[in-house]
Structures are given as structure tokens and as C-alpha cells.
Amino acid sequence: MTSTPAGTAVPILLEHVRGPKPFVSVELRPPRADLDAASGMGAWIDLHHALGRLARGDTFVFLTDNAVGAAEEENLAHVGANVGDEVDLRRIVPILTCKHTLDYCLLFGARAISQGFEALTVLGGDPSVGPPRCVPHGRDLREMLAKRSPDLALGGWVNPHKDAATQVGYLAAQDAHVDFALTQIVSHHDIPRVGKLLEALHRSGRPVPVVFGVFLYRSANPATLETLGRFFPVPTGAITRDFESGAEPEDVCARTIRELRAAGADKVYVSNLGNRNPLARLRRVLERV
């Protein structure tokens, strides 16, 4: 694990994820790289407004890096250049995968620090799509970034859908270079798996804060759920029954957050809110938690 050097202020993200209060953040996606100029500009305007509203509301935002293998505009370049004067960049956490050149990844860390970001989530990236990784694992890149940009808080990745002891072993290793971790998407139908991961974390004696991924399902459309299932485990039948019972998307998402909190997982990020005023939708969810 990494640690904050003596005399250095603790990044505000770590203050929140290490603290006793529930923590709700969001995950947003930069515009696709293949949009035409007009569409791309409109998409960035939506994102900039969203980041401003969220950050002013003290909500942290994790910005993806070519999510699900689709080429996205670089999160760091546009946000740092275009919203830096309007948004507290300490509340924006870019995600960096290893699916770039090594020089690019190492420079990314230095650029993040110079522009005012305090934290960076470093993942391996799906090896089955897109370009190859520049290093075998996210841990390898975090080690290099920790040496070159020691002031950055570094996040890792853990998957509750896989063996809990193995997953926690990655986080608890002395050379993990991880200050916090995001998880693969889970739902209220995955609480037993969440419990096993929390138990394994407790047994490890390494208090790495874990932020659990929650997905806002818009509907139970079979084609949509099938597509989503290519990227993370989707309890298709159970989600379908949730909607058939009359629940709205915000109800389903709120139930996941409630049940995660009841299980002891009170730090979450909410995905799939969209870039057009996600704060309003997040508030509708939280009103039902």
C-alpha cells in the first residue's frame, strides 16, 4: 500500500473514503472519440456542466478511460484544460488503464498532479478488447507512478464476483501501491458476495477503503441487459423481476445502496447516470435510500 508522506495534506478523497460517514460518488464517461465536431462539442458541454454541478455539490466523480473498450476522449486533457477554473479538481478522479504506451501512462500521472488532481484510479483494463496493456497488471503501473508522482493517491480494482480471498490478497499485498479501490458493479442481489469480500478485507488487517460500484439500470430490456452482461455480471432474471414489480430505475438503484449499507458497504459510486444533469438523477435516487 502507499502512504501519505509526513507533513503532506491528505487528499480529500481519502478523507471521505476513510471516514465513518456514507460516501456516494458517481462514475461518468467522457464523450466517444468518434463523434463529429458538433456532437463532440455538445457532449463536452454537457459533461462540463455535469462536473460543475456535482463538484459544487461535494460529489466526487470518477472519469472512465475507454470504458468497455470503446475509444473515449482523454479525460485528463479536456477536464484539466476546460473546467479547471470552475471545478475543484480534487473532487475529480480520472481512471487510467494500462492500455496505452508506458510513456503516456507515466506522463499522465505527472500531468494530473500539475493540473491539480489529487487522486488517480489505475486499472489493468480489459485484455480482451482494444490495445494491449503496457504492463501486465495495474499494480505494476501503480508502482511506477508511486515513485514518479508520490503525492498522488492511487486507486486499484477488486471484483466481488471472484474469489474474495484472492481479490483481497491483491489489495493487501505490501507492494500493491493502493490507497483505495473501486469494485466491479454489484447489486442488492449480490449481497452474499459483498459480505465475503468485506469479511476477507477484515481478516487481512489491511484497511483499504473500498468503493462499491452500483449501476442505474434504466429498464429490464432483454437486449440491453444482455449487452451489459458482456462487461459485468448482470442478475438478469432478478433485475427483470424488480421492474415487473413496478419499481422505477431510481427505486432499484436506491435499494442496492440501502442493502449495501446494511451489509457494511457504505462507500459507493453510481454508474450510468448519464452526462445530462446526473446530479438531479442522483438526488432522486438518494431521496429513496
Interval 135-190: pLDDT, tens: 999 999 999 999 999 999 999 999 999 999 999 999 999 899 999 999 999 999 99
Q: Report d(CA 11, CA 18) in Å as an integer.
A: 11
Q: Report d(CA 68, CA 279) in Å as an integer.
A: 23
Question: Does an H or E element contain 284, and which?
Answer: helix 278-286
pTM for the predicted model, two decimal places: 0.92
pLDDT at 75: 73
| 112: nearest Cα among 141, 59, 152, 78 | 152
Q: Is the pLDDT of residue 259 over 90?
A: yes
pLDDT at 83: 67
Q: Is the pLDDT of residue 278 over 60?
A: yes
Which amino acid makes up residue 71?
A: A
In order of their start, the domains of the chain are 12-286 (3.20.20.220)
* 275 three-state secondary structure: coil
